[in-house]
């Protein structure tokens, strides 16, 4: 089944429309964290709505933790010239980075020049576990949703003058940098599909076109290995990696006004609009307008080489 959290409550997605469920004011997040998502299959319907009539919230509004897996697509590793990892690379970012589909993402003034997109399949944990066996890992999953792992590449690579170090967690964990949605595909349907197509567009241009068949580590492998180090709790989110076509590879970064859409087959399309941070009055008087940045060939080559260590 496919569920969405809307401004009118929890909805079941059916034939492109929304069936509003009688959930007594509880959110989709509430059911996931309480490990009771299966109850939604039996909830009565209150009415119907269209997507245009509602605002969509993320399936999980404030995850306890978001785990970002890096370099987990074969085509992405190939485009940056990196060998495939032998163990999942992952780090954590704060739940405060989450926002929903259809909203805006503000690019901070101190890191606005190298903002990048990464379309990803996100796994929402539905049952708390530690040392999860790979063969039963799907039993700990609530479902899957669409994510855009927005990243400030200069901070990620240690090139930002305000931060004297590389910090992938900060680069990916700023406010609004983890859009999730628009819906959650439950585990029974997610695991039955061997591969899902994933497409990322910037405005109307296709930048990423791949499939989860390109994953280096499968969802069960990821959960088993990550949970060998830390407890995965219901409501946590695991971003499983991005395919080839990221802006970093060609030095094509995002600018204010760009609309990024990430579509995953059978789940839906996540939409985010990038906006520049409003300058203060003093900055508006003294600071010239920022031109969209394109890396020189030499700088792009250096950044891609460094991304073999830091990128996801």
Q: How far apart are CA 189 and CA 196, in angstroms?
A: 11
Longest dimension (CA), the chain: 61
At residue 237, does pLDDT exceed 60? yes
The Cβ of residue 68 has, within 10 Å, a number of other Cβ atoms equal to 28
Angle 181-187-192 from CA coordinates, rounded to 5°: 115
Closest CA to 275 of 295, 293, 260, 265: 260
CATH no. of 58-310 = 3.90.850.10
- Residues 81-123: pLDDT tens digits? 899 999 999 999 999 999 999 999 999 999 989 999 999 999 9
DSSP 7-71: TTEEEEEETTEEEEE--TT--HHHHHHTT-GGGGGGPPEEEEE-GGGSPEEPSSSS-S-EEEEES
Q: Which residue ranges does the chain devote to CATH 3.90.850.10?
A: 58-310
Question: Quick one: pLDDT at residue 193?
Answer: 86
At residue 7, does pLDDT exceed 80? yes
As to burial, measured by CB atoms within 10 angstroms (0-12 exposed, 13-18 middle, 19+ buried), residue 171 is buried
Verdict on whether the full-model pTM lies above 0.75: yes
Backbone angles phi, psi at 171, to 5 degrees: -60, -30
């Amino acid at each position: 089944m496919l569920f969405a959290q809307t401004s009118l409550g929890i909805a079941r997605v059916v034939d492109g429309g929304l069936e509003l469920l009688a959930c007594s004011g509880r959110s989709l997040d509430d059911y996931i964290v309480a490990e009771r998502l299966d109850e939604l299959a039996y909830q009565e319907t209150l009415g119907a709505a269209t997507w245009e009539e509602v605002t969509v919230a993320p399936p999980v509004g404030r995850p306890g933790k978001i785990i970002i897996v890096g370099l987990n697509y074969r085509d992405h590793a190939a485009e940056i010239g990196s060998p495939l990892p032998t163990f999942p690379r992952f780090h954590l970012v704060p739940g405060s980075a989450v926002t929903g589909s259809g909203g805006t993402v503000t690019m901070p003034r101190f890191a606005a020049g190298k903002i990048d997109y990464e379309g990803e399949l996100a796994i929402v944990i539905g049952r708390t576990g530690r040392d999860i066996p790979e063969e039963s890992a799907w039993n700990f999953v609530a479902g899957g949703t669409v994510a855009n792992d927005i990243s400030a590449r200069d901070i990620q690579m240690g090139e930002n003058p305000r931060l004297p170090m590389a910090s992938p967690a900060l680069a990916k964990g700023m406010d609004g940098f983890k859009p999730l949605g628009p819906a959650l595909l439950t585990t029974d349907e997610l695991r039955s599909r061997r591969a899902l197509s994933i497409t990322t567009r910037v405005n109307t241009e296709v930048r990423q076109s791949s499939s989860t068949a390109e994953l280096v580590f499968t969802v069960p492998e990821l959960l088993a290995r990550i949970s060998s180090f830390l407890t995965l709790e219901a409501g946590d989110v695991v971003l499983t990696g991005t395919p080839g076509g990221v802006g970093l590879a060609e030095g094509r970064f995002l600018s204010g006004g760009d609309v990024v859409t990430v579509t995953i087959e059978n789940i839906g399309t996540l939409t985010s609009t990038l906006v520049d941070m409003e300058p203060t009055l003093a900055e508006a008087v003294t600071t010239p307008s920022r031109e969209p940045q394109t890396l020189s060939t030499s700088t792009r080559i250096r950044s891609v080489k460094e991304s073999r260590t830091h990128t996801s």
